[in-house]
Amino acid sequence: MHIRATEPPTAAPSGAEAVPDSRGLNLYRADPWAAPLFGLYLPPDLFAHLAPHLDRMGALAGGRLDEFAGIADRNPPVLRHRTRRGEDAQSIDYHPAYRALEQVAFGEYGLAAMSHRGGVLGWPDPMPPAAKYALTYLFVQAEFGLCCPLSMTDALARTLRRFGDPALVARYLPALTETDLDALRQGAMFMTEQGAGSDISATAVLAEEAEDGTWRLTGDKWFCSNADAGMALVLARRRGGPAGLRGVSLFLLPRERPDGSPNAYRIVRLKDKLGTKSMASGEVRLEGATAFLVGNPEAGFKQMADMVNASRLSNGMRAAGLMRRAVTEAMFVARHRIAFGKRLVEMPLMRRQLLKLVLPMEQARSMVFQAAEALRRSDAGEEGAFALLRILTPLLKFRACRDARKVTGDAMEVRGGCGYIEEWPDSRLLRDSHLGSIWEGTSNIVALDVLRAAQREGSLPVLRAHVATLLGNGARLPEALPLLDRAAALAMRAQENPALARQAASALYHLTSAAAMAWEAARLEDAERLDLARLVIRHRVLPRDPLAEADEPVPEALLAKILA
């Protein structure tokens, strides 16, 4: 990437004026591809309706919500075990800033409800996944922690609708899709145990059926985010059931019993986490808690996987949003910081660094909306859409979440010493980014899930057909399809040699995202986005000699668009 920049010397400001501060920046308007891409993936009438809401969310995320997020991060929730009168009644105290974030996300925007019912933001019908992800992509640029409860509430509602008994759905779904915070019951999933993280077959929490047809859950869950949620989906082993996964069932655990009394479980303590400090994650002890069986008792893990996969897609979206915010901050600093008589953005090494931040960020965004469209088509019952969704989701979760760790770190460096100070957003973005590679499966687990999608759902031929369509049968990026075939062959070999799983997943992700960006470029008649797609292949797929001096120049029009 040979980049030249020649500008006349610039007078350097002094004192506070020398420190660029992006506070109040509209994060929607600051993103040159946000409106075009959202308009591409959303139906035209819905995009026109949402345009002012997107713009307002961008302003809130760069201003008031960002301030609330910083305050909530510095004032984490506190678990209270007893009232001041000595009553044994647990509660979690949240800072008012966190409550204000909830009001915007769950209340004003209905981000957890808009996929399930009409009426949110004045739209008469449930919105497609792309609408939810477009708005949340902006929200997460201010606040990451609350996006976990948002995602789990949305995903729990989806899984309950798919597998729950109609009477159970009728009783509990309305509260999950409320925008009135007093009536809302947020969702959670309690899956992890000390001996059963990704290995669900080791689940030890016990479920016993009661005479009234409900179940009693007993045992400890080790990592429960949104610990005081109104309801949670829980995996537990049926007493007397078969060994292994067939003995593990899925249960709905409400915070209150049907008679309104507190359910029989306790939050033992809250976790002191590296990031997402605003949101309460804790350890839960189930003491004969009342729960309701969801779906087929021998398909508990398969049904919970529906919620996990929805959360994984959301996790990829959150990683993309974190990268976008990190890039926006780095761009702002580079445009306004003066050193050695020049703006940082005029310096060749800085321009190269910024471009290297943009590539993975744009890849992740394109993959989010490709997966969102596959989800819409899968829910509509289109042939092949589920197989496509099953491989796009772990590809996104695996690679985008790992990229976010590097992008947020390298972007923090652009701000210099200030980036390391907690008063600025950079350190929070960096801390939060590390959770994406752990939540809903570590990188190794998710890379192996790519292989499972290929083996069980036959996803590789479906992915190839999809990529071929995106590429116009190869016309847009002629080298991409042959490379994809090599990546698919590597994925097949990885089924015999799992040590190749991460390499195969990365290759499939890079080539699919490049194809998506090429398709977007054609639809938008955007030559610069096609240049980005070519750079993905050149710098993230093909081998390069680190000692070679020669470097291909980056098109000036592309630099002008992303660095202006």
Res 4: pLDDT: 47
| Mean pLDDT across 161-169 | 96
Q: Provide the percentage of residues in the chain whose pLDDT is more than 70.
A: 97
CATH class for the region spanning 187-298: mainly beta
Q: What is the pLDDT of residues 29-53, one digit of tens each?
A: 999 999 999 999 999 999 999 999 9
Residue of 23, 95, 106, 69 whose CA lies nearest to 432: 69
Quote the pTM value: 0.94
Mean pLDDT computed over every residue of the chain:
93
The domain spans of the chain are 187-298, 443-563
Rounded distance between C-alpha atoms, residue 513 and residue 184, angstroms:
37
Res 551: pLDDT: 63
Q: Compute the 3-state secondary structure of the chain and give helix, strand, coil in percent, each to the nearest 5.
A: 55, 10, 30
φ and ψ of 104, to 5 deg: -70, -45
Quick count: other Cβ atoms within 10 Å of Cβ 283? Answer: 18
Write down the residue that tokens 């497609």 correspond to. Answer: 128
Q: What is the DSSP letter of 81?
A: -
Helices (runs of H) and strands (runs of E) counted in the chain:
17, 11
Q: What is the pLDDT of residues 500-528, one digit of tens each?
A: 999 999 999 999 999 999 999 999 999 99
Supply angle C-alpha 315, 321, 327, rounded to 5: 140
- The token duo for 303 is 């049904």
Rounded distance between C-alpha atoms, residue 282 and residue 464, angstroms:
42
| Mean pLDDT across 98-111 | 98
DSSP secondary structure, 343-407, as one string: EGGGSHHHHHHHHHHHHHHHHHHHHHHHHHHHHHHHHTT-TTHHHHHHHHHHHHHHHHHHHHHHH
Contact 219, 206 (CB under 8 A): yes
φ and ψ of 380, to 5 deg: -80, -5
Confidence of residue 557 (pLDDT cuts 50, 70, 90): confident
- The token duo for 406 is 């590097």
Rounded distance between C-alpha atoms, residue 221 and residue 218, angstroms:
10
Rounded distance between C-alpha atoms, residue 400 and residue 439, angstroms:
13
Quick count: other Cβ atoms within 10 Å of Cβ 336? Answer: 17
| Range in 67-81, 152-166, 219-233, 337-351 with the lowest mean pLDDT | 337-351
Q: What is the pLDDT of residues 412-427, one digit of tens each?
A: 999 999 999 999 999 9
- Would you call 496 helix, strand, or coil by DSSP? coil
Q: What is the DSSP letter of 120?
A: G
* Exposure class string for 341-365: b at 16+ Cβ within 10 A, else e: ebbbbbbeebbebbbbbbbbbbbbb
Contact 403, 323 (CB under 8 A): yes
Q: Cα 66 to chain center, whole Å?
A: 18
| Mean pLDDT across 319-332 | 97
Half-sphere exposure of residue 178: CA atoms within 13 angstroms, side-chain side: 16
Q: What is the DSSP letter of 342?
A: E
- The token duo for 302 is 């398969």
- Would you call 216 helix, strand, or coil by DSSP? strand
